[in-house]
Amino acid sequence: MFWQQEMETLGRDELNALQLERLRTTIERAARSPFYKHRLAKAGVGASDIKSLDDLRRIPFTTKQDLRDSYPHGMLAAPLEQVVRLHGSSGTTGQSTVIFHTQRDLDTWTDLVARGLVMAGGGPADVFQNMMSYGLFTGGLGLHYGAERIGMLVIPAGSGNTRRQITLMRDFGTTVIHITPSYALHVSTAFAVHEVDPRGLKLRIGVFGAEPYSEETRQKLERLLHLDGYNCYGLSEMNGPAVAFECSKKNGLHVWEDSFIVEVIDSDTTEPVEEGGEGELVFTTINREAMPILRYRTRDRSAIVPGPCACGRHHRRIRAIVGRTDDMLILGGVNVFPSQVEAVLMRIPEVGTNYQIVLDRVGELDRMTVRVELSSKSFHGDIKELRAISGRVTHELRDELVVNPTVELLEPDTLEPSMGKAVRVVDNREKR
């Protein structure tokens, strides 16, 4: 199913031509902002220098620090009277940044969200419960307007207040939810507490995004919540959710390439990685008026899925994001992403829905402790059994990730549940 069939099924050559044309317009527009006026002049590039898409590489990168330095208005490329909304990053990694939108920007973004929801199988008969927080964070209003545009009944529930969430689902027959995977894990355990059987609900589609998660977690959520899970990726600098969205083939997320140019670079050399290789995602907005951003370094790690997709869309796909470079843990010379730890944990049936990674320094060595909640089904305090589970978790983590963690098993509901983006890692190493 398509929302904007013509644009979604545009051929590769046409997409490239459109990108080139829009890139030129974007550069012209960007140069109206104080930041890019200076940046582009210094680099000696202008719209007329862009003869092919490869010339994109002549433009310098934009970083989070650039956004911070030009806070609040330095990257604004439109007169304030044309600007109708401001969003901010959730500030996961430091001082927040702001992004401005014109009405046209919001309309375009709304359609990208609508494309994703329709691609996942949503339609006007759906009841959409948005369980992401509203406010400056883009996960609230972003999905909200996309779902409304399709004609879904939208429940702007926000995040948290799990009991009320479950009541809303039950009373209004919610069919589609938008939620972070970590909060979804928590909600899945809360059904039992509130004596509601998710099989009796009408849930059918789960849009999971805003944080990294593994295929194992998706499958666990699909099982626990009785729905079909779809990955939705985005970042406030590129509007927010629905920069890329999974189609029904679930082999990567289609980047809406009529709105963004995607590159994958080696973070150290900043050179493009070879086709299909893992690296850092870099995006350029090519359909935004108020605040165009050129070659934004996301620090998110992913790779392009090579080849065409059987769904009929030529918009290239990226693999599910493993994590941000900043989140990578380096333990005894081995690099580990929290999402890799999660993948191992979530395929062990005795493991519950919450976990935490604690890092300490013992002498010269870093030590990782993985604190794991057991599922309520597996928790009955038999020491021998607990020891076996602990041994298995340790063994699988060691086998898979080549690190040697200490595993600590916990009763269900010991750790603070996540209502939004989960904070999985507690790093005690600097404090010593």
Q: How far is the CB of 299 from ligand ADP (least distance, A)?
A: 7
State whether the Cα torsion 354-359-360-362 is positive or negative: positive
DSSP string, 5-25: HHHHT--HHHHHHHHHHHHHH
User: Cα–Cα distance between 113 and 123 in angstroms, integer?
Assistant: 13
Q: How far is the CB of 16 from ligand ADP (least distance, A)?
A: 26
The partner in contact with residue 133, picked from Zn ion, ligand ADP, none with C-beta cut-offs of 5 to 8 angstroms by kind, is none
| Minimum CB distance to ligand ADP smaller for 110 or for 138 | 138
Answer left, alpha or beta for residue 312, where phi above 0 means left and psi between -120 and 50 means alpha: left
| Inter-residue long-range contacts of 164-170, CB under 8 Å, 24+ positions, other chains counted | 165/129, 165/131, 166/190, 166/191, 166/194, 166/196, 168/129, 169/129, 169/201, 169/203, 170/196, 170/200, 170/201
- Provide the mask over 227-256, with x wherever binding to Zn ion is found by CB under 5 A and - wherever it is not: --------------------x-x-------
The partner in contact with residue 209, picked from Zn ion, ligand ADP, none with C-beta cut-offs of 5 to 8 angstroms by kind, is ligand ADP
Both tokens assigned to 207: 């849009």
| Minimum CB distance to Zn ion smaller for 237 or for 258 | 258
Q: How far is the CB of 374 from ligand ADP (least distance, A)?
A: 26
Q: How far is the CB of 114 from Zn ion (least distance, A)?
A: 16
| Minimum CB distance to ligand ADP smaller for 209 or for 405 | 209
Span 302-361, contacts to Zn ion by CB under 5 A = 309, 311, 313
- Edge to edge, the sheet with strand 351-362 lists 406-410, 365-374, 351-362, 425-427
Amino acid letter, 355: Y
| Minimum CB distance to ligand ADP smaller for 10 or for 113 | 113
Of the residues 101, 254, 301, 324, which one makes contact with ligand ADP according to CB under 6 A:
324
User: Cα–Cα distance between 122 and 109 in angstroms, integer?
Assistant: 17
- Rule CB under 6 A: is residue 36 a binding residue for ligand ADP? no
| Minimum CB distance to ligand ADP smaller for 40 or for 120 | 120
User: Cα–Cα distance between 179 and 156 in angstroms, integer?
Assistant: 12
Q: How far is the CB of 12 from ligand ADP (least distance, A)?
A: 25
Q: How far is the CB of 115 from Zn ion (least distance, A)?
A: 11
Amino acid letter, 79: P
User: Cα–Cα distance between 32 and 350 in angstroms, integer?
Assistant: 57
The partner in contact with residue 90, picked from Zn ion, ligand ADP, none with C-beta cut-offs of 5 to 8 angstroms by kind, is ligand ADP
Span 202-221, contacts to ligand ADP by CB under 6 A = 209-212
- Rule CB under 5 A: is residue 286 a binding residue for Zn ion? no
The partner in contact with residue 309, picked from ligand ADP, Zn ion, none with C-beta cut-offs of 5 to 8 angstroms by kind, is Zn ion
Span 75-104, contacts to ligand ADP by CB under 6 A = 89-93
Q: How far is the CB of 13 from Zn ion (least distance, A)?
A: 18
Say if residue 72 is exposed, middle or buried (CB neighbours under 10 Å; 0-12, 13-18, 19+). Answer: exposed
Cβ contacts of 360 within 8 Å, gap of 6 or more: 366, 367, 369, 428, 429
- Provide the mask over 218-247, with x wherever binding to ligand ADP is found by CB under 6 A and - wherever it is not: -------------xxxxxx-----------
Amino acid letter, 23: L
User: Cα–Cα distance between 219 and 346 in angstroms, integer?
Assistant: 9
For residue 327, how many C-alpha atoms fall within 13 Å in the half-sphere facing its CB?
Answer: 23
The footprint of ligand ADP on this chain (CB under 6 A) covers a number of residues equal to: 21
Both tokens assigned to 200: 């009796």
Span 111-150, contacts to ligand ADP by CB under 6 A = 137-138
- Rule CB under 5 A: is residue 273 a binding residue for Zn ion? no
User: Cα–Cα distance between 166 and 248 in angstroms, integer?
Assistant: 27
Tokens 């990168």 map to which residue?
Answer: 61
Both tokens assigned to 183: 């909060």
Span 287-316, contacts to ligand ADP by CB under 6 A = 298, 300
Q: How far is the CB of 255 from ligand ADP (least distance, A)?
A: 12
- Rule CB under 5 A: is residue 185 a binding residue for Zn ion? no
Cβ contacts of 427 within 8 Å, gap of 6 or more: 359
- Provide the mask over 192-231, with x wherever binding to Zn ion is found by CB under 5 A and - wherever it is not: ----------------------------------------
The partner in contact with residue 175, picked from ligand ADP, Zn ion, none with C-beta cut-offs of 5 to 8 angstroms by kind, is none
Give contact residues for Zn ion (rule: CB under 5 A): 247, 249, 309, 311, 313
Give contact residues for ligand ADP (rule: CB under 6 A): 89-93, 137-138, 209-212, 231-236, 298, 300, 321, 324
